[in-house]
Amino acid sequence: MASQVKLLIVQFLAWVRSRPRTRADVQEAWQSTCPLNSAWEDAVADGLVEFGPSGHLVLTALGRARLEQQT
C-alpha cells in the first residue's frame, strides 16, 4: 500500500507541475472519501506543494526534488 500512496503523490506532483491549479481544480480532480487516498492533503502536509500568492497551487523546492527523483 505504501508504494501506491507514493505513486499517487508523484502523479499529483506531476499534475500540479503541468499547469497552474486552483484549490477548486484540486478538490474537483483529487477528491476522495478514502482517508488512505489523500494525495493532495499529504503533499501539503509534507511541504511538497503550497498555495502561492496568486492562489494557485505550486510545487515547493522539496516537491520539485521529489518529482525529479522519480523521473
- Average pLDDT over every residue of 36-47: 85
Annotated domain spans of the chain = 2-70
| Dihedral sign for Cα atoms in the order 5, 8, 14, 17 | negative
- Average pLDDT over every residue of 14-43: 85
Spatial CB neighbours of 64, under 8 Å, sequence gap ≥ 6: 17
Backbone phi, then psi, for 23, in 5-degree steps? -60, -40
The share of the chain scoring above pLDDT 70, in percent, equals: 85
Task: Tell me the β-bridge partners of 58.
Answer: 50
Given this model, what pLDDT does residue 50 score? 95
CATH of 2-70, one of 1.10.287.3510, 1.10.10.10, 3.40.50.12280, 3.40.50.261: 1.10.10.10
Given this model, what pLDDT does residue 63 score? 96
